[in-house]
Chain A
Amino acid sequence: MPEILVQYQAEIWTAIIETFVMVGVSIVAAVLIGLPVGTLLFLCRKGKILENPFVFSVLNLLVNTIRSFPFLLLVVFLIPFTRLIIGTAIGTAVATVPLSIIAIAHYSRLVEQSLLDVPKGVMEAAISMGASVKDIIFKFLFVEARSGLVLGLTTSIISFISYSTIMGVVGGGGIGDFAIRYGYQQFKTDLMIYMIVIMVILVQLIQFTGTTVSRIIDKR
């Protein structure tokens, strides 16, 4: 192993763990909140089973607004809110708040898009069978859209990794922050390149896994 990596081994491991924590929390937020929000966005659209222009417009506006923030500004803008729920404005835990918010907005949009690909006829068949809203969601929509939902989550996770790299501004740490502080600011270009290589490998692995899983579960 290159000497410089051995020298910074401990810091690098810490950075990797910080990235995993930040991205991990984002994924949990995306699935637990983004998936329901995206589903609601879809169901409240015109002509869908829970058609509701008010709920749709509010959610739509909210998702658009969050996604239109340059992410760095969103982080700064959210500091007071973050301080309110975490109790401090510095650290990895603090970084997970803006990351989770962007994660929810990001994934909910992709969920809505995947659900729009479910053939209208399948929804009609579900209604004609007497399925309830819950049955329609779990026995029809999510089943038909599952490969799209997995691909969407894959795309989202890769974005979360990218977003996590700027969390140095609130002391969130992570691989990106490490690369900037040691690689860039201390002129250790080789260290920076090693960090980029780690990120590239990580993204490749995630994309490969996501693509493979979505292909296996797609029987259409």
Chain B
Amino acid sequence: MIHLHKVSKSFSHFQVIKSASLTIDKGEIYGIIGASGAGKSTLLRLMNLLETPDEGQVEVNGQDLTKLNSKKLRQARQSIGMIFQHFNLVANKTVYDNVAIPLELAKVPRQERRNRVVECLQFVGLESLLDKFPAELSGGQKQRVAIARALANHPQVLLCDEPTSSLDPNTTAEILGVLENVNKSLGVTIVIVSHEMEVIKSICNRVTVMANGEIYDTVSIEPEGIKQLSKRPNWFIEQLIKDGEKSHA
């Protein structure tokens, strides 16, 4: 599905990615983890050419993106969804209009657009909020809108750049659940970049560890499943004193 072949990328003489190669199969939930500055975000951004590689090939859906002209590349990007740490919604557009953008870009007729937008919002459980603006939503809801927007054009691949890193643990679990559902019920291949081990362990089936711009190792794992956290105040107390003595201040 995605194949990076010896890609390298430098930013002003600093080599961020050093001749990295990897293959991601159809239907996988693929994790990329590593320390800050290891190059994991850049590696992900190479997959839709948000960063153009200095060397190497980027193949997605059987097309070498580095060889496409700008029009073909734009078309290819329409079937590669992407979500971000800070959601990157258009703040002056409603939830509905945000999800409708990719459909407008793909020149989907207005009538079909409406159905598809509602369908996508139903999928992420936000169909009741379509008239709201992003500023009126919580972080988790914003990320759901971003997922709905990324899904609108029936992408084959969903790239996730730190999708839960600005969310609290409960919301993280919620979003991971949505992503898992995107993978299971729609068959979308998912690539997740995260610095949070818990996130990667919970839903990924294969994980690449990056260090200093290189692929350090890739391992297959059995996803542990998403840990459901409780909102009960007592749950927090239990977690706090699990390993020690209870002593009220």
Contacts and interface: CB of A to CB of B under 8 A. Distances in A.
Given A127-B50, A132-B74, A144 B91 contact: yes
Nearest to A132: B74
B91 A220 contact: yes
Interface in B57-111: 73-78, 80, 82, 84, 86-93, 101-102, 104-106
Contacts of A127: 50, 77
B194 interface: no
A200 to B, nearest CB: 33
Interface string B151-175: 0000000010000000000000000
Nearest to A129: B102
Interface residues of A, number: 21
Given A128-B82, A219-B135, A119 B105 contact: no
A124 B42 CA distance: 13
Contacts of B80: 128
Given A124-B84, A128-B77, A219 B92 contact: yes
A121 B84 CA distance: 8
Interface residues of B, number: 29
A14 B104 CA distance: 49
A173 B81 CA distance: 59
Nearest to B48: A128
A129 B101 contact: yes
Interface string A119-141: 10110110111111001000110
B123 interface: no
Interface string B223-248: 00000000000000000000000000
A130 B68 CA distance: 13
Contact of B84 (A125, A130, A132, A143): A125
Interface in A150-184: none
Given A130-B76, A219-B135, A144 B48 contact: no
B105 A131 contact: yes
Contacts of A125: 82, 84, 88-90
A143 B105 contact: no
Given A146-B92, A219-B135, A130 B77 contact: yes
A218 interface: yes
A219 B105 contact: no
A130 B92 contact: no
A178 B80 CA distance: 64
A217 interface: yes
Contact of B133 (A119, A144, A219): A219
Contacts of A119: 86, 88
Nearest to B74: A130
A218 B93 CA distance: 10
A124 B90 CA distance: 11
Nearest to B73: A130
A129 B88 contact: no
B154 to A, nearest CB: 13
A121 B77 contact: no
A121 B88 contact: yes
Contacts of A121: 84, 86-88
A44 B74 CA distance: 20
Interface string B103-143: 01110000000000000000000000000011100000000
Given A119-B86, A129-B77, 14 more contacts: A119-B88, A121-B84, A121-B86, A121-B87, A122-B90, A127-B50, A129-B102, A130-B75, A130-B77, A139-B101, A143-B90, A219-B91, A219-B92, A219-B134
24 contacts: A119-B88, A121-B84, A121-B87, A121-B88, A122-B88, A122-B90, A124-B50, A125-B82, A125-B89, A127-B77, A128-B80, A128-B82, A128-B159, A129-B77, A129-B78, A129-B82, A130-B74, A130-B75, A130-B76, A130-B78, A131-B101, A219-B91, A219-B133, A219-B135
Interface of A: 119, 121-122, 124-125, 127-132, 135, 139-140, 143-144, 146, 217-220
Interface of B: 48, 50, 73-78, 80, 82, 84, 86-93, 101-102, 104-106, 133-135, 149, 159
